[in-house]
Amino acid sequence: MAAMPTSVLDLAPVVPVVVIEDADDAVPLARALVAGGLPAIEVTLRTPAALDAIRAIADAVPDAVVGAGTVLTPGQVDRSVAAGARFLVSPGWTDGLLAAMAASGVPFLPGVSTTSEVVALLERGVREMKFFPAQAAGGTAYLRSLAGPLPQARFCPTGGIGADNAPDYLALPNVGCVGGTWMLPADAVAARDWARVESLARAAAGLRDAGGTCR
Assess whether 42 carries a catalytic annotation.
yes
Q: Cα separation of 210 and 169, whole Å? A: 10
- Single out the residue of 122, 123, 71 nearest to residue 97, CA to CA: 71
- Which one from 21, 42, 117, 128 is the annotated catalytic residue? 42
Residue 164, Cα to own-chain centre: how many angstroms? 18
Could you read off the pLDDT of 161-176 as tens digits, one per residue?
999 999 999 999 999 9
State the amino acid at position 193 in one-letter form: D
Indicate the Cα dihedral angle 90, 94, 96, 98, nearest 10°: 50
- Which one from 123, 128, 130, 198 is the annotated catalytic residue? 130
Residue 214 pLDDT more than 50? Answer: no
| DSSP class per residue in 100-146 | HHHTSSS-EE-EE-SHHHHHHHHHTT--EEEETTTTTTTHHHHHHHH
Backbone φ and ψ of 178, nearest 5°: -125, 155
pTM of the model: 0.95
Assess whether 117 carries a catalytic annotation.
no
Query: What's the pLDDT band for 210 if we cut at 50, 70, 90?
Result: low
- Percent of the chain at pLDDT > 70 equals 95
